[in-house]
A and B are shown apart, each in its own frame.
Chain A
Amino acid sequence: MKKHQTNDVILQTVTKIASFIILLFSFHIFFAGHNNPGGGFIGGLMTASSFVLLLLAYDLKTVRNILPVNFIYVAASGLFISLCTGIGSFVFGAQFLSHAFDYFQLPLLGKTELATAVLFDIGVYLVVVGVTMTIIQTIGERE
């Protein structure tokens, strides 16, 4: 049998396009979570799944070079952000984790509703991405 290099060109080329589509759609899902189905949890899972698609098409080392992030720190910073949004309500004399929203005139977007619940959702998002990627990378690199 003749030995030659394995040929993953089709998978890798499609992964280059599809992972960006999944990443953009996960951001859309994340920001749509206030008024439509979606939110931090499903957005984080979809972001992690686009990274997992990169892991399937390329090596673990290549993905480490693309995303030089220790995902345990991502999960920890997400927990920290969520805790800070809880504690931040003490500054205004409110109870723990009480949220507020208001309407602002932004330069390009016009009248926009900005809610502090989005900050909490960013924390959830980072925790989900970090935990999923940590699980998959630690399972993947075990010999």
Chain B
Amino acid sequence: MIEAAKLFIAVFILLGALISLAASFGTLRLPDVYSRIHAASKGATLGIISVLLGVFFYFWLLHGLITAKVLLGIVFVFLTSPVGAHLIARAAYNTGVKMEKKSVQDDYEGYRNFVIKKKKDSYL
């Protein structure tokens, strides 16, 4: 039973580490900002969630502790990491970062809003 639990935990943690490695290769290999953000945000989110699930099952199955902090961390990473990627990508687009040359279509062209000039009260 304990051996099966250890195997289960090891699968989670190794899978998370492999997904994070794939995400880091994606940030190295992909051509422009948007596809790099695509690789980094998704891969890192799933990798971290998988490692944290492994940690949660480690403390639950082998030590009998249910750590709500790890579950809260999973929820928090799942909630905030894509929003961070969205904000970085939108900031890159609004400051005029070009897409890669091979990309076909830009439906948002002409609608770039330069945030800093518009909002007088904001300091974003």
Contacts and interface: CB of A to CB of B under 8 A. Distances in A.
Contacts, number: 37
Nearest to A142: B123
Interface string B68-99: 00001001100110010011000000000000
A25 B72 contact: yes
A84 interface: no
Contact of A18 (B80, B86, B122, B123): B80
Given A2-B111, A11-B87, A61 B121 contact: yes
B112 A17 contact: no
Interface of B: 72, 75-76, 79-80, 83, 86-87, 110-113, 115, 118-119, 121-124
28 contacts: A1-B110, A1-B111, A2-B110, A2-B111, A3-B118, A4-B111, A6-B113, A6-B115, A6-B118, A7-B113, A10-B83, A10-B86, A11-B87, A14-B79, A14-B80, A17-B79, A18-B76, A18-B79, A18-B80, A21-B72, A21-B75, A21-B76, A21-B79, A25-B72, A56-B124, A59-B121, A59-B122, A61-B121
Given A4-B111, A6-B113, 5 more contacts: A6-B119, A17-B79, A21-B75, A60-B121, A61-B121
